Structure 1
Amino acid sequence: MRVAGAVVVIAVLDGGSGADLARRFTAANAAGLLIADPRPGVAEDLAVELDRPGCPVVGVCGDVHRPSDIAALVATAAKHLGPIGLFAVAGPDGERIVSLADLPDHLDPLAELLAPVGEAISEVVPPQRQASDSPSAARTAVR
Protein backbone atom coordinates (compact mmCIF):
# COMPACT_ATOMS: atom_id res chain seq x y z
CA MET A 1 0.00 0.00 0.00
CA ARG A 2 1.66 3.21 -1.19
CA VAL A 3 0.77 6.45 0.55
CA ALA A 4 3.23 8.71 -1.28
CA GLY A 5 1.41 10.27 -4.20
CA ALA A 6 -2.01 8.84 -3.26
CA VAL A 7 -5.19 10.78 -2.66
CA VAL A 8 -6.64 9.61 0.63
CA VAL A 9 -10.16 9.83 2.03
CA ILE A 10 -10.40 9.58 5.82
CA ALA A 11 -13.87 8.89 7.20
CA VAL A 12 -14.20 9.46 10.93
CA LEU A 13 -16.83 7.45 12.78
CA ASP A 14 -18.66 8.64 15.90
CA GLY A 15 -16.21 8.46 18.78
CA GLY A 16 -13.17 8.34 16.51
CA SER A 17 -10.55 10.88 15.57
CA GLY A 18 -8.85 11.23 12.23
CA ALA A 19 -6.29 13.81 13.37
CA ASP A 20 -3.35 11.47 14.02
CA LEU A 21 -4.10 9.43 10.92
CA ALA A 22 -4.28 12.59 8.79
CA ARG A 23 -0.96 13.81 10.19
CA ARG A 24 0.67 10.47 9.36
CA PHE A 25 -0.67 10.59 5.79
CA THR A 26 0.64 14.13 5.24
CA ALA A 27 4.03 13.14 6.70
CA ALA A 28 4.09 10.15 4.33
CA ASN A 29 3.69 12.50 1.32
CA ALA A 30 0.10 11.80 0.34
CA ALA A 31 -0.96 13.78 -2.73
CA GLY A 32 -4.06 15.07 -0.95
CA LEU A 33 -6.52 14.30 1.82
CA LEU A 34 -10.26 14.54 2.17
CA ILE A 35 -11.33 14.26 5.80
CA ALA A 36 -14.99 13.59 6.63
CA ASP A 37 -16.21 13.83 10.20
CA PRO A 38 -19.84 13.70 11.36
CA ARG A 39 -19.21 16.55 13.81
CA PRO A 40 -19.65 19.97 12.15
CA GLY A 41 -16.45 21.98 11.89
CA VAL A 42 -14.03 19.28 13.09
CA ALA A 43 -12.77 18.11 9.68
CA GLU A 44 -12.80 21.63 8.32
CA ASP A 45 -10.58 22.90 11.19
CA LEU A 46 -8.18 19.98 10.76
CA ALA A 47 -8.01 20.64 7.02
CA VAL A 48 -7.01 24.27 7.63
CA GLU A 49 -4.29 23.11 10.02
CA LEU A 50 -2.81 20.46 7.70
CA ASP A 51 -3.30 21.99 4.23
CA ARG A 52 0.02 22.62 2.49
CA PRO A 53 1.49 22.84 -1.01
CA GLY A 54 1.86 19.36 -2.45
CA CYS A 55 -0.78 17.91 -0.13
CA PRO A 56 -4.02 19.87 -0.23
CA VAL A 57 -6.45 18.93 2.51
CA VAL A 58 -10.23 19.27 2.27
CA GLY A 59 -12.48 18.87 5.30
CA VAL A 60 -16.19 18.14 5.12
CA CYS A 61 -18.95 17.26 7.53
CA GLY A 62 -20.17 13.82 6.51
CA ASP A 63 -21.37 10.49 7.84
CA VAL A 64 -20.27 7.34 5.96
CA HIS A 65 -23.35 5.52 7.23
CA ARG A 66 -25.34 7.54 4.65
CA PRO A 67 -24.95 6.56 0.99
CA SER A 68 -25.62 10.16 -0.08
CA ASP A 69 -22.70 11.36 2.06
CA ILE A 70 -20.42 8.70 0.53
CA ALA A 71 -21.43 9.82 -2.96
CA ALA A 72 -20.66 13.43 -1.96
CA LEU A 73 -17.24 12.38 -0.63
CA VAL A 74 -16.38 10.70 -3.93
CA ALA A 75 -17.48 13.74 -5.94
CA THR A 76 -15.69 16.22 -3.67
CA ALA A 77 -12.44 14.25 -3.67
CA ALA A 78 -12.52 13.86 -7.46
CA LYS A 79 -13.27 17.56 -7.98
CA HIS A 80 -10.64 18.95 -5.61
CA LEU A 81 -7.96 16.26 -5.34
CA GLY A 82 -8.22 13.68 -8.13
CA PRO A 83 -8.84 9.94 -8.15
CA ILE A 84 -8.96 8.31 -4.72
CA GLY A 85 -6.14 5.87 -4.00
CA LEU A 86 -6.73 4.98 -0.35
CA PHE A 87 -9.79 4.99 1.88
CA ALA A 88 -9.36 5.03 5.65
CA VAL A 89 -11.85 4.77 8.48
CA ALA A 90 -10.95 6.08 11.94
CA GLY A 91 -13.24 4.74 14.63
CA PRO A 92 -13.26 4.58 18.41
CA ASP A 93 -11.59 1.15 18.33
CA GLY A 94 -8.94 1.72 15.69
CA GLU A 95 -8.22 2.39 12.05
CA ARG A 96 -8.75 0.56 8.80
CA ILE A 97 -7.03 1.49 5.54
CA VAL A 98 -8.06 0.05 2.17
CA SER A 99 -6.25 0.43 -1.14
CA LEU A 100 -8.81 0.96 -3.87
CA ALA A 101 -6.33 -0.39 -6.43
CA ASP A 102 -6.93 -3.85 -4.95
CA LEU A 103 -10.62 -3.75 -5.87
CA PRO A 104 -12.06 -4.93 -9.22
CA ASP A 105 -11.67 -2.42 -12.05
CA HIS A 106 -15.28 -2.65 -13.17
CA LEU A 107 -16.72 -1.06 -10.03
CA ASP A 108 -17.76 2.58 -10.21
CA PRO A 109 -16.39 5.03 -7.60
CA LEU A 110 -19.41 4.80 -5.33
CA ALA A 111 -19.40 1.00 -5.34
CA GLU A 112 -15.64 1.04 -4.76
CA LEU A 113 -16.19 2.99 -1.58
CA LEU A 114 -19.26 1.17 -0.31
CA ALA A 115 -17.52 -2.22 -0.12
CA PRO A 116 -14.46 -1.10 1.89
CA VAL A 117 -16.60 1.10 4.13
CA GLY A 118 -18.73 -1.90 4.99
CA GLU A 119 -15.62 -3.98 5.70
CA ALA A 120 -14.01 -1.20 7.70
CA ILE A 121 -17.06 -0.48 9.79
CA SER A 122 -17.61 -4.16 10.50
CA GLU A 123 -14.04 -4.49 11.75
CA VAL A 124 -13.86 -1.26 13.73
CA VAL A 125 -17.41 -1.17 15.14
CA PRO A 126 -18.73 -3.25 16.85
CA PRO A 127 -15.67 -5.00 18.29
CA GLN A 128 -17.42 -8.36 18.83
CA ARG A 129 -17.48 -9.09 15.08
CA GLN A 130 -14.70 -11.15 13.57
CA ALA A 131 -12.08 -9.34 11.49
CA SER A 132 -12.11 -10.03 7.75
CA ASP A 133 -9.21 -11.97 6.23
CA SER A 134 -9.80 -10.26 2.89
CA PRO A 135 -6.60 -9.95 0.84
CA SER A 136 -7.90 -6.66 -0.61
CA ALA A 137 -7.76 -4.93 2.76
CA ALA A 138 -4.92 -4.53 5.16
CA ARG A 139 -4.97 -3.28 8.72
CA THR A 140 -1.98 -1.03 9.02
CA ALA A 141 -0.59 2.12 10.51
CA VAL A 142 0.81 4.65 8.08
CA ARG A 143 4.46 5.30 8.86
Structure 2
Amino acid sequence: MVVIAVLSGGEGADLARRFAAAGAAGMLVADLRPGVAEDLATELDRPGCPVVGVSGDVHQPSDVAALVDTASKHLGRIDLFAVAGPHGERIVSFADLDDNLAPLAELLALVGEAISEVVPPQRQSDSPSAVRTAVR
Protein backbone atom coordinates (compact mmCIF):
# COMPACT_ATOMS: atom_id res chain seq x y z
CA MET A 1 0.00 0.00 0.00
CA VAL A 2 1.23 3.46 -0.90
CA VAL A 3 0.83 6.74 0.96
CA ILE A 4 1.25 9.87 -1.15
CA ALA A 5 1.67 13.14 0.73
CA VAL A 6 1.27 16.28 -1.34
CA LEU A 7 3.15 19.28 0.02
CA SER A 8 2.28 22.91 -0.61
CA GLY A 9 3.14 23.65 -4.23
CA GLY A 10 3.28 19.96 -5.13
CA GLU A 11 1.07 17.88 -7.42
CA GLY A 12 0.24 14.30 -6.51
CA ALA A 13 -2.28 13.39 -9.22
CA ASP A 14 0.27 12.18 -11.80
CA LEU A 15 2.16 10.20 -9.17
CA ALA A 16 -1.06 8.56 -7.96
CA ARG A 17 -2.08 7.71 -11.53
CA ARG A 18 1.31 6.09 -12.15
CA PHE A 19 1.02 3.98 -8.99
CA ALA A 20 -2.52 2.91 -9.99
CA ALA A 21 -1.35 1.97 -13.50
CA ALA A 22 1.60 0.02 -12.04
CA GLY A 23 -0.77 -2.14 -10.00
CA ALA A 24 -0.65 -0.66 -6.51
CA ALA A 25 -2.75 -2.68 -4.07
CA GLY A 26 -4.13 0.51 -2.52
CA MET A 27 -3.33 4.17 -1.98
CA LEU A 28 -3.94 6.92 0.49
CA VAL A 29 -3.48 10.42 -0.89
CA ALA A 30 -3.12 13.34 1.52
CA ASP A 31 -3.24 16.94 0.32
CA LEU A 32 -3.30 20.25 2.16
CA ARG A 33 -6.03 21.57 -0.11
CA PRO A 34 -9.49 20.48 1.05
CA GLY A 35 -11.30 18.25 -1.44
CA VAL A 36 -8.35 17.72 -3.83
CA ALA A 37 -7.26 14.31 -2.48
CA GLU A 38 -10.84 13.21 -2.01
CA ASP A 39 -11.68 14.02 -5.65
CA LEU A 40 -8.58 12.19 -6.86
CA ALA A 41 -9.51 9.16 -4.74
CA THR A 42 -12.98 9.10 -6.29
CA GLU A 43 -11.42 9.20 -9.76
CA LEU A 44 -8.86 6.43 -9.15
CA ASP A 45 -10.67 4.07 -6.75
CA ARG A 46 -11.33 0.67 -8.33
CA PRO A 47 -11.52 -3.01 -7.33
CA GLY A 48 -8.03 -4.24 -6.47
CA CYS A 49 -6.76 -0.72 -5.83
CA PRO A 50 -8.88 1.08 -3.26
CA VAL A 51 -7.95 4.74 -2.91
CA VAL A 52 -8.67 6.97 0.07
CA GLY A 53 -8.22 10.73 -0.04
CA VAL A 54 -7.76 12.91 3.03
CA SER A 55 -6.98 16.52 3.74
CA GLY A 56 -3.99 16.97 5.99
CA ASP A 57 -0.66 18.63 6.66
CA VAL A 58 2.19 16.10 6.95
CA HIS A 59 4.24 18.72 8.78
CA GLN A 60 1.91 18.27 11.78
CA PRO A 61 2.42 15.19 14.00
CA SER A 62 -1.32 14.93 14.70
CA ASP A 63 -2.12 14.92 10.97
CA VAL A 64 0.54 12.27 10.29
CA ALA A 65 -0.86 10.11 13.09
CA ALA A 66 -4.38 10.47 11.66
CA LEU A 67 -3.13 9.71 8.15
CA VAL A 68 -1.38 6.51 9.26
CA ASP A 69 -4.38 5.46 11.33
CA THR A 70 -6.70 5.99 8.34
CA ALA A 71 -4.35 4.13 5.98
CA SER A 72 -4.02 1.20 8.39
CA LYS A 73 -7.77 0.93 9.03
CA HIS A 74 -8.85 1.14 5.41
CA LEU A 75 -5.93 -0.21 3.39
CA GLY A 76 -3.48 -2.14 5.59
CA ARG A 77 0.25 -1.90 6.06
CA ILE A 78 2.15 0.98 4.46
CA ASP A 79 4.81 -0.29 2.03
CA LEU A 80 5.82 2.93 0.27
CA PHE A 81 5.70 6.54 1.37
CA ALA A 82 5.87 9.11 -1.40
CA VAL A 83 6.07 12.87 -1.20
CA ALA A 84 5.10 15.16 -4.07
CA GLY A 85 6.49 18.62 -3.47
CA PRO A 86 7.28 21.75 -5.44
CA HIS A 87 10.77 20.38 -6.20
CA GLY A 88 9.75 16.92 -7.38
CA GLU A 89 8.95 13.53 -5.92
CA ARG A 90 10.60 11.29 -3.34
CA ILE A 91 9.62 7.65 -2.80
CA VAL A 92 10.78 5.53 0.12
CA SER A 93 10.14 1.80 0.48
CA PHE A 94 10.10 0.78 4.12
CA ALA A 95 11.12 -2.80 3.17
CA ASP A 96 14.29 -1.62 1.40
CA LEU A 97 15.59 0.66 4.16
CA ASP A 98 17.42 -2.01 6.19
CA ASP A 99 19.98 -0.06 8.20
CA ASN A 100 20.57 2.55 5.51
CA LEU A 101 18.33 5.43 6.47
CA ALA A 102 19.73 7.93 3.95
CA PRO A 103 16.67 7.75 1.64
CA LEU A 104 14.42 8.27 4.63
CA ALA A 105 16.54 11.20 5.81
CA GLU A 106 15.93 12.92 2.47
CA LEU A 107 12.21 12.36 2.82
CA LEU A 108 12.28 13.59 6.43
CA ALA A 109 13.91 16.79 5.27
CA LEU A 110 10.80 17.39 3.17
CA VAL A 111 8.09 16.49 5.66
CA GLY A 112 9.79 17.35 8.94
CA GLU A 113 9.87 15.47 12.21
CA ALA A 114 6.21 14.39 12.09
CA ILE A 115 6.77 11.26 10.01
CA SER A 116 9.41 9.95 12.44
CA GLU A 117 6.59 8.88 14.75
CA VAL A 118 5.32 6.53 12.04
CA VAL A 119 8.49 4.80 10.85
CA PRO A 120 9.43 2.60 13.85
CA PRO A 121 6.12 0.67 13.94
CA GLN A 122 6.17 0.23 10.15
CA ARG A 123 9.76 -1.10 10.10
CA GLN A 124 9.02 -3.59 12.88
CA SER A 125 6.22 -5.26 10.96
CA ASP A 126 7.25 -8.63 9.54
CA SER A 127 4.48 -8.67 6.94
CA PRO A 128 5.83 -8.99 3.36
CA SER A 129 5.68 -5.99 1.10
CA ALA A 130 2.54 -5.95 -1.02
CA VAL A 131 3.86 -3.39 -3.45
CA ARG A 132 7.38 -3.71 -4.84
CA THR A 133 7.01 -1.32 -7.74
CA ALA A 134 9.39 1.60 -8.02
CA VAL A 135 7.76 4.49 -9.81
CA ARG A 136 9.86 7.39 -11.02
Short-chain TM bin: 0.7 to 0.9
- Aligned-CA RMSD value: 2.3
Q: Does the CA-based 8 Å contact 1:25-1:142 persist in structure 2?
A: yes
Q: Which residue in 2 is equivalent to 1:135? A: none
Relative to the length of structure 1, the TM-score reads 0.72
Alignment equivalent of 1:67, drawn from 61, 68, 77: 61
Q: Which residue in 2 is equivalent to 1:58? A: 52
Q: Which residue in 2 is equivalent to 1:44? A: 38
Q: Distance in 1 between matches of 2:97 and 2:108?
A: 17
Q: Secondary structure at the match of 1:9?
A: strand
Query: CA shift at 1:123, angstroms?
Result: 5.9
| Consecutive unaligned residues in structure 2, runs of 5 or more | 112-133
| Consecutive unaligned residues in structure 1, runs of 5 or more | 1-6, 106-114, 125-140
Q: Secondary structure at the match of 1:63?
A: coil
Alignment equivalent of 2:8, drawn from 14, 19, 29: 14
The list of structure 1 runs, each at least 4 consecutive aligned residues, that deviate by more than 3 angstroms after superposition, is none
Query: CA shift at 1:62, angstroms?
Result: 0.7
Q: Does the CA-based 8 Å contact 1:89-1:121 persist in structure 2?
A: no
Relative to the length of structure 2, the TM-score reads 0.75
Q: Which residue in 2 is equivalent to 1:119? A: 106
Query: What is the one-letter code of the residue matched to 1:120?
Result: L
Q: Secondary structure at the match of 2:91?
A: strand
Query: CA shift at 1:60, angstroms?
Result: 0.1
Q: Which residue in 1 is equivalent to 2:127? A: none
- Structure with the higher fraction of residues in helix conformation: 2
